[in-house]
Structure 1
Amino acid sequence: MKTIFSAILMVVFAVAIQAQNRFENAKKQSSENKELILLNFSGSDWCIPCIKLHKNIIETDEFKKLETENVIVYINADFPRNKKNQLSPELKKENASLADKYNQKGLFPYTLLLNSEGKILKSWEGLPSENALAFSKEIREIKDNQKP
């Protein structure tokens, strides 16, 4: 019984630490792999433009290549409203902290392209007008123009 309790406690603690350090981990990974960070603020269950952004851009193969080819580290700071979609308290806290720093106006969707230090390189307010291919190409161009 003691072993089971310890194992459960360790899993809960590991998840909490991972959630609290998601952005710091992204900055570290970004620095190590010379990637950019794409931070997206969304309301996944109430914001129609957010839902369209995820369906038409973020969930596409073209966008996913950005992650697999070490162009970006993607973070979604989600703010769902429906009770069934609520996030863990740790993730809510981290998303609120990211919003305090990067989305003080409370825009949704709001997408930022950051360097490994967290400096804003580009921002998109609302649903980007580009399709997934053009959106991904723009991110690649910004990355290619970064000084090593």
Structure 2
Amino acid sequence: MAASVGCAGSAADTTEGGHKGWLTDFEAAKKLAGARNLPILADFSGSDWCGWCIKLDKEVFSKPVFQAYADANVVLFLADFPSRKAIPAAVQAQNEKLAENYGVRGFPTVLLLDAAGKVLGRTGYQKGGPEAYVKHVKQLLAAAAPKE
């Protein structure tokens, strides 16, 4: 397990807006999620051109309420599709493959995934700020939880 965490710690992260500290290496996100027994919150975003993505970032992801929830409850992963800034070719190829595999058709698309990459929930922009978004994420995760 320690090796998994070590690998995740070396994963690239982005440092803009509310995406500061989000992993950009999907395999590292899955390893960290497995090691911490947490779901992945994956944001498929056009961070520098998509109006709703920018709004979600400014209204939710950049806020301390969301960040505090995320730190303890999810592994954050960003699949970015920028138009004005360059991202490494390997990251771009990874993001395109993930978008295809998960059927992402618009931005923002936010997926909740288990450590194996199975979809637990799908959403996007939700109005109401960080408190409402955290409540929404909790509801999606609760709906996906195994019934006893």
Moved over 2 A (4+): 137-147
Superimposed CA distance per residue, residues 77-130 of structure 1 (whole angstroms, 9 cap, x where no aligned partner): 111111xx111111111111111111342x1111111111211111114x2234
Verify the 8 A CA contact 1:103 1:110 in the aligned structure 2: no
Corresponding residue pairs, total: 127
Residue 83 of structure 2 corresponds to 81
State the 1:56 CA deviation.
0.4
For structure 2, the residue ranges without an aligned partner over 5 or more in a row are: 1-6, 13-23
Larger Rg: 1
Verify the 8 A CA contact 2:70 2:76 in the aligned structure 1: yes
For structure 1, the residue ranges without an aligned partner over 5 or more in a row are: 1-13
Distance 1:141 1:32, change over 3 A: farther
State the 1:137 CA deviation.
2.4
Residue 129 of structure 1 corresponds to 127
Counterparts of 1:130 and 1:112 in 2: how far apart (Å)? 19
Distance 1:89 1:76, change over 3 A: same
CA RMSD of aligned residues (A): 2.4
2:110 pairs with 1:108 = no
Counterparts of 1:18 and 1:93 in 2: how far apart (Å)? 16
Q: Identity of paired residues, percent?
A: 32
Residue 20 of structure 2 corresponds to none
Q: Which has the higher contact order (CA 8 A, sep 6+)?
A: 1
State the 1:26 CA deviation.
1.2
State the 1:23 CA deviation.
1.1
